Amino acid sequence: MSAALSKPERPGNVILPGATLGVMGGGQLGRMFVHAAQAMGYHTVVLDPEAGGPAGQASDRQIVARYDDAQGLAELAKAASAITTEFENVPAQALTALAKLTRVAPTAVAVAIAQDRAAEKIHFQHHGVPIAPFAVIDSPEAVIAAAPTLFPGILKTARLGYDGKGQMPVSDAQSLPAAWEALGKVPCVLEKRVDLDCECSVILARGLDGKVVHLPVQRNIHRDGILATTMVFAGNLKPEVEHRALQAALRIAEATEYVGVLCVEFFVLRDGSVIANEMAPRPHNSGHYSIDACDVSQFELQVRTLAGLPLPTPRQHSPAVMLNVLGDLWFRHGTDTPCTPDWAAILDLPGVHLHLYGKRQARPGRKMGHITITAPTAQAALQTASRVAALLGLPLDSDGRIAARHPFLTAPSE
């Protein structure tokens, strides 16, 4: 083993810069974790089945192996003083095996809950976190027994669904058998549609000592099940909504003695109540703005929780709007040949921060990067974001704002 990947002595629970931190997964979240760790003086090692992915490109070292490969896991544990994960579908058994050899955060228990929508909803319920009415659909008998009050609803696969995948709207009980068959008759959750006002998310970090800090509550817009826009500035959400979401997220984290960065997504109903949708045991797309708009990003918080370092309360220094960059933008002219967006025109605008993930091939629906717009005022950030959207060819409302189910807020008067 090279000196760069050695395990230096550490006082107590703190892993000091100069050590190596490991990450399971080679995607963009792993890449941004690697960047944050390296900026703080750590070395990094990534385990991923595919060579040269976003995280592997940036890391000091990559181990190319399946997530359940015993030899690869042993090699990762030998190289790293502590290990985290960049996505929740890493096998929980792999995290359990790693935890016998080195520090792992978050734990396999927390990750396993997030991997199964049914277990997740039961976990929320058990700890007093409000959720939408639901039923587990895992057999023909469960299909027949689904309560009429759950319709219209959304049928979601219990495992592996994300970014709108593994979901089907179900208008009535007669539509449920066909929907379940279309999803492969795998275990599912039928969730009642709610009277939605908007969506928001809470990103918190909980340390080894139980201390919790959080980013500002984010307001999110989804399109076709994929996050399109995140907006974070004063007046973005009502104070009581922020408080309810924060308290619920804290209960969820405390319930599993969570260590690491946790995101909980919420639905805000028209009556002002807040219900949990799902959790992610890792940094989240809606927190990417923190790299450019906060003094401590969600990825630095991930490094700090893993290494046992102190957790300062993040401060947002600029109003921010984040736009997801999907592979669709490479095909906006209707051709089969990808055409790179005009990044120079985008970067000519003030306060624009472009983050591309190093993915070699653009595909519709694929997350290729994100753009964060920061400005001295919320109004200025919103205006620049709409200009960016127009240049990229994102859908716009008739008044020139970004189109979505929940349009951009009117920013508070300055």
For every residue of 257-303, DSSP letters joined together read T--EEEEEEEEEETTS-EEEEEEESS--GGGTTHHHHBSS-HHHHHH
pLDDT in tens, 123-173: 999 999 999 999 999 999 999 999 999 999 999 999 876 655 788 899 999
> Tokens at residue 268, please?
């805000």
Per residue in 195-213, is it b (16+ CB within 10 Å) or e — as a string? Answer: eebbbbbbbbbbbbeeebb
Q: What is the pLDDT of residue 332?
A: 84
Q: What is the pLDDT of residue 200?
A: 97
Cα separation, 117 vs 364, whole angstroms = 26
**CATH code of the domain made up of 196-392:** 3.30.470.20
User: HSE-up of 22 (CA within 13 Å, CB side)?
Assistant: 29
Q: What is the pLDDT of residue 337?
A: 87
Q: What is the mean pLDDT of residues 204-233?
A: 94
Phi-psi category of 24—alpha, beta or left, where left has phi over 0 and alpha has psi -120 to 50?
Answer: beta
Which residue numbers belong to the known binding site for ATP? 117, 156, 161-167, 191-194, 199, 222, 277-278
The CATH topology of domain 3-104 is: Rossmann fold (3.40.50)
Query: 410 exposed, middle or buried (CB, 10 Å; 0-12, 13-18, 19+)?
Result: exposed
How many degrees, rounded to 5, is the angle at CA 339 between CA 336 and CA 341?
Answer: 140
pLDDT in tens, 56-97: 999 999 999 999 999 999 999 999 999 999 998 899 999 999
| pLDDT: which is higher, 58 or 4 | 58
Q: What is the pLDDT of residue 413?
A: 30
Which residues of the chain does CATH 3.30.1490.20 include?
133-192
pLDDT band, very low/low/confident/very high, at 379 (cuts 50, 70, 90): very high
* Among 166, 170, 189, 188, CA closest to 178: 170
pLDDT band, very low/low/confident/very high, at 12 (cuts 50, 70, 90): low
pLDDT band, very low/low/confident/very high, at 318 (cuts 50, 70, 90): very high
Which residue numbers belong to the known binding site? 117, 156, 161-167, 191-194, 199, 222, 277-278
pLDDT in tens, 232-255: 999 999 999 999 999 999 999 999
pLDDT band, very low/low/confident/very high, at 333 (cuts 50, 70, 90): confident
Q: What is the pLDDT of residue 129?
A: 96
pLDDT band, very low/low/confident/very high, at 3 (cuts 50, 70, 90): very low
Cα separation, 266 vs 95, whole angstroms = 27
| Domain 133-192 CATH superfamily | ATP-grasp fold, A domain (3.30.1490.20)
> Tokens at residue 122, please?
């039961």
* Phi and psi, residue 107, nearest 5°: -80, 165
Q: What is the pLDDT of residue 9?
A: 38
Q: What is the pLDDT of residue 394?
A: 81
Q: Which helix (H) or strand (E) holds 167?
A: strand 167-170
Which residues of the chain does CATH 3.40.50.20 include?
3-104
